[in-house]
Structure 1
Amino acid sequence: MEKENKHFYRQMLAIAIPVSLQSLLTSFLNTLDTIMISSLGDASIAGVGLANQVFFLFTLICFGIHTGSAVLFSQYWGIKNTHKVQEVNQMSLILSTVVSVVFMLLGVLFPYEILHIFTKDPLVIQSGGDYLRVAALSYVFTAWSFAMTNALRTTGSPKVPLIATICSFVTNAVFNYVFIFGKFGAPALGVVGAAVATLIARVVEVSVLFGVVFSYSGPIRLPIGRYWHHISKGLWMNYWITTYPVIINETFWALGQVFYNAAYAMVGTQATAAIQVAVAVQNLSFILVRGIGSSCSIMLGNRVGRNEVEQAQKEAKRFVTISLVLGVVIGGIQSLTPHWTLLMFAHLSPEVFLIGQQLLQIMGVIFVFKTLNSIILVGILRGGGDTQYGMKLEMACVWLIGVPLALLAAAVWHFPVQLVVICAGAEELCKAFIGLRRVFSGKWIHRLVEA
């Protein structure tokens, strides 16, 4: 038993640590962006935060495509079917490229109209629209980066995406400094400079990923022309049946978050700025959860692919326990130390600083349920191929509980933003209760591949 436990934790950490480090760099970079932009004023923070809701929606759709693909990746890789792994990777790249082009065109052609959906403040619309028009050019590179990162992680190479993210991190930080503030002879572009830095960093990240893939002999290496070759209708159908619930899940969950941000924007510009800062801090808190969730999905997918049902159920319950411990510890720290974490944002107005403290205290409690739900939905249910149930659970809790309560709280009841956040967080409590019942029932295990 002790040897089995050591193997479990060794395997979990081998995936979780590189993924967590990558998430740490990504989250810290987003926080660094917010810190640098905060020196430009509340309207700039709010504008870029709202503009990034488009990016957020886009990345969540891509996340749906790639985590849906990971269900098949992990099960095919569990039985070492390299040819099917390659074909799943091709389909993932094709689908995410189409989505990225659509979002890029919307962001480039209609940036100010999109910002007008969220706010009527002309300064916020101007800042956000200027940022979005340039940042949208990075979306295709982002889609490719996500696709290759997912494929490499799921087939046992989580360190490669970490290296690519380190390169992206350094590039983004340097060019943020150069273009936001006009250093080394460059023009001071403000929020546009942050968008330019993001575009350059994404190009660097994709170059590293494809450079490694085409130079090694791993399972997803293909000649460039093969990435677009004909794939059988049967495999497309199997891929779509597995991934469409995840894509719909992530898309409508992301739309729900957009509606939450619209509700926060109804409270005012300071509330919107405080939310962006609090979310940036919470994203840093969530890094280890992302790593454990990736480990969970891959490890359980491998088990289910090999038809090791009893072991999969046992490991799923262990992941639930791990998620609860993580949630309580990290959420507790977040709730107890908001005054320390917000010191990173030196240029916040006193009003935004105070609201941010209160939001972090509230969000720390919600974090416990958020962590549990992430492991259940993204790790256990998807790893076991139970994507349709996960979709129904997510959509019901977001759209029947969270979004209506948040909009009522902001638009009808005129609650302060702190209470709006509590109303939005009601979805997490409901989701955790139903999700736990599904995990312990064992009905989440669906073998989707044949040896």
Structure 2
Amino acid sequence: MTPQMTHTQHLRAILVLGLPLIGSHVAQFAIWLIDAVMLGWYDVQALAAQVIAGMVFFVLFIMGSGFAWAVMPMVAEAEAAGDTTQVRRYTRMAMWISMLFGLLVLPVMIWAEAVLYALGQSPEVVALGADYLRVAGWGIFPALLVMVLKSYLAALERTRVVLWVTLSAVAVNALVNYVLIFGHWGAPEMGIVGAAVASVAVQVVSGVLMALYAAVATAEHELFVRFWRPDWEAFGKVFRLGWPIGITNLAEVGLFAAASTMMGWLGTIPLAAHGIALQIASLTFMVHLGLSNAATIRAGRALGRVNRAELVRGAQVVLALSLGMALLTVVTFLSVPELLMGLFLSPDEPQRDAVIALGVPLLAAAAVFQLADASQVMALGLLRGVQDTRVPMVIAAISYWVIGVPVSYGLGFGLDWQGPGVWIGLTVGLFLAGSFLMGRFWLHSVRKVPQG
């Protein structure tokens, strides 16, 4: 009988695996955070426009990323079997699908005015947001390429390069933003368009660095040799595995996008406050996302060993880590909300006090949904590790769109609770998703794995 790992051994293994993943996610999010901070210091209206325009980009990006995330389990399986041909086939076709997806959605961003008006935004926000997306939209191609290569390298357990490339991207983004948003060092003052240029520059640099590393360090896979040749069998496999992941991600991101849209209906100041509070909450979420990735890998290994006891013990440890971080976040959000909100606004901003006043109750709601948000992403990580993805997709869609969005609208506008009502709706959707997904894992998926 295989010796069982102790809880301490599981903790050590999860931290060794999870900390670099957390660092990579935090660094990636820092790019978006820097945009928000610098635009908030530049102009509140520019910040509001970037919130709504960035939401459009991110919704499309996260949907396309489903095909990139499908690479991880497929490449890991092929690599374990020593089949380098399959590694190349899956990764290359994931890049193909990602680029085709980029071509499909690029027109939406180039001609974004109609989309932003359809979302009920003010003419000022629409004009600035459209200017942002006309430039930032071109970054969808390198951004999706980076996602595919990150999944490919992570499956090969080459995570350090992913972290270092992401950290380099943060530095490039901060520098280019500083120069182009404010017009320093002789550069033109471009405002929100400068932020868009910086985003594309970062994505291009990241894509080039990742591709060069993959071509040199994993030359045996010949990823870019005869890249133009189609492989329809591999194309179909990646597509079939990737679309449920993309839809699941879209359902959650769509919930937050709907909330951003509704906050935009309330005005520029509420939208800016919402954007800042959401950036703060999203930063702490990166920790849970990294732990969720580690949970996927640990659960997948337990499944491969046909060992239910290891699966259960590893799940208990990673969930305890996530819960501890969530509780720490709750205390922080409730203790110093004004300080956190104020970091995103210039002391000289005339509307600073109004934005902070609206943001404080939003952070209180965020403190509550931290627990629910952590629960749902951890459950998804565990479920993907045991290859259970179709039912979670349905659970996510119902929790977020059938229940979460209507509750946000009903409380925010029907009962006129405005911003806090919209955010309570977010919490309801996340709570239901977390509860049902956790139930799916513990009552169904775990039982399908033999005792070992």
Please give the TM-score of this superposition, normalised by the length of structure 2.
0.91
Q: Once superposed, which parts of structure 1, at least 4 consecutive aligned residues long, lie more than 6 Å away?
A: none
**Cα distance in 2, alignment partners of residues 423 and 405 from structure 1:** 5
2:272 alignment partner in structure 1: 273
Offset at residue 13 of structure 1 (A):
2.3
Confirm whether residue 246 of structure 1 aligns to residue 245 of structure 2.
yes
Offset at residue 252 of structure 1 (A):
3.2
Distance 1:91 1:156, change over 3 A: same
Offset at residue 177 of structure 1 (A):
0.8
- 41, 44, 53: which is aligned to 1:42? 44
- Is the CA contact 2:113–2:130 (under 8 Å) kept in the aligned structure 1? yes
**Cα distance in 1, alignment partners of residues 395 and 75 from structure 2:** 23
1:87 alignment partner in structure 2: 89
One-letter amino acid of the structure 2 residue matched with residue 296 of structure 1:
A
- Is the CA contact 2:296–2:384 (under 8 Å) kept in the aligned structure 1? yes
Offset at residue 382 of structure 1 (A):
1.0
Single out whichever of 305-314 and 343-352 deviates more from structure 2.
305-314
* Structure 1 residues 283-310: Cα deviation after superposition (integer angstroms, max 9, x where no partner): 2212221211111112222332444444
Offset at residue 73 of structure 1 (A):
3.5
2:416 alignment partner in structure 1: 414
Give the length in aligned residue pairs.
443
- Is the CA contact 2:183–2:189 (under 8 Å) kept in the aligned structure 1? yes
- Is the CA contact 1:15–1:158 (under 8 Å) kept in the aligned structure 2? no
- Is the CA contact 2:341–2:360 (under 8 Å) kept in the aligned structure 1? yes
**Cα distance in 2, alignment partners of residues 115 and 412 from structure 1:** 23
Offset at residue 39 of structure 1 (A):
2.8
* Structure 1 residues 240-272: Cα deviation after superposition (integer angstroms, max 9, x where no partner): 443322122223333333222222222222111
Distance 1:251 1:346, change over 3 A: closer
Single out whichever of 31-40 and 385-394 deviates more from structure 2.
31-40
- Is the CA contact 2:65–2:98 (under 8 Å) kept in the aligned structure 1? no
- Is the CA contact 1:15–1:153 (under 8 Å) kept in the aligned structure 2? no
**Cα distance in 2, alignment partners of residues 84 and 12 from structure 1:** 28
Distance 1:309 1:69, change over 3 A: farther
- Is the CA contact 2:263–2:271 (under 8 Å) kept in the aligned structure 1? yes
Distance 1:37 1:340, change over 3 A: same
One-letter amino acid of the structure 1 residue matched with residue 374 of structure 2:
T
Alignment of 1:10-409 (within 5 A): 10-77=12-79, 79=81, 81-108=83-110, 110-217=111-218, 221-231=221-231, 233=233, 235-347=234-346, 349=351, 350-377=353-380, 379-409=381-411
Offset at residue 368 of structure 1 (A):
0.8
**Cα distance in 2, alignment partners of residues 83 and 302 from structure 1:** 23
**Cα distance in 2, alignment partners of residues 89 and 207 from structure 1:** 16
- Is the CA contact 1:267–1:410 (under 8 Å) kept in the aligned structure 2? no
Alignment partner of 2:93: what SS?
helix
Distance 1:226 1:364, change over 3 A: farther
For structure 1, the 5+ residue unaligned runs are none
- Is the CA contact 2:255–2:426 (under 8 Å) kept in the aligned structure 1? no
* Structure 1 residues 18-71: Cα deviation after superposition (integer angstroms, max 9, x where no partner): 222222222223222112111333221111110011111122113322333333
**Cα distance in 2, alignment partners of residues 298 and 81 from structure 1:** 20
Alignment partner of 1:399: what SS?
helix
Please give the TM-score of this superposition, normalised by the length of structure 1.
0.91
Distance 1:446 1:386, change over 3 A: farther
2:435 alignment partner in structure 1: 433
One-letter amino acid of the structure 2 residue matched with residue 254 of structure 1:
V
- Is the CA contact 1:47–1:124 (under 8 Å) kept in the aligned structure 2? yes
One-letter amino acid of the structure 2 residue matched with residue 84 of structure 1:
Q
**Cα distance in 2, alignment partners of residues 271 and 75 from structure 1:** 47
**Cα distance in 2, alignment partners of residues 43 and 352 from structure 1:** 12
Offset at residue 276 of structure 1 (A):
0.5
One-letter amino acid of the structure 2 residue matched with residue 274 of structure 1:
A
- Is the CA contact 1:58–1:103 (under 8 Å) kept in the aligned structure 2? yes
**Cα distance in 2, alignment partners of residues 3 and 240 from structure 1:** 36
Alignment partner of 1:214: what SS?
helix
Alignment partner of 1:224: what SS?
coil
- Is the CA contact 1:384–1:445 (under 8 Å) kept in the aligned structure 2? no
One-letter amino acid of the structure 1 residue matched with residue 315 of structure 2:
A
**Cα distance in 1, alignment partners of residues 403 and 310 from structure 2:** 35
Alignment partner of 2:42: what SS?
coil
- Is the CA contact 2:128–2:192 (under 8 Å) kept in the aligned structure 1? yes
Alignment partner of 2:445: what SS?
coil
Offset at residue 103 of structure 1 (A):
2.2
Single out whichever of 319-328 and 200-209 deviates more from structure 2.
319-328
One-letter amino acid of the structure 2 residue matched with residue 115 of structure 1:
L
- Is the CA contact 2:7–2:317 (under 8 Å) kept in the aligned structure 1? no
- Is the CA contact 2:302–2:311 (under 8 Å) kept in the aligned structure 1? yes
**Cα distance in 2, alignment partners of residues 7 and 372 from structure 1:** 23
Distance 1:238 1:25, change over 3 A: closer
Single out whichever of 421-430 and 435-444 deviates more from structure 2.
435-444
One-letter amino acid of the structure 1 residue matched with residue 199 of structure 2:
T
**Cα distance in 2, alignment partners of residues 170 and 236 from structure 1:** 35
For structure 2, the 5+ residue unaligned runs are none
RMSD: 2.3
Alignment partner of 1:186: what SS?
coil
Offset at residue 393 of structure 1 (A):
0.9
Offset at residue 162 of structure 1 (A):
1.1
Distance 1:104 1:236, change over 3 A: closer
Alignment partner of 2:217: what SS?
coil
Distance 1:174 1:333, change over 3 A: same
Distance 1:44 1:119, change over 3 A: farther
Offset at residue 85 of structure 1 (A):
3.0
Alignment partner of 1:215: what SS?
helix
One-letter amino acid of the structure 2 residue matched with residue 356 of structure 1:
G
Offset at residue 423 of structure 1 (A):
1.9
Distance 1:339 1:242, change over 3 A: same
Distance 1:322 1:39, change over 3 A: closer
One-letter amino acid of the structure 2 residue matched with residue 383 of structure 1:
G
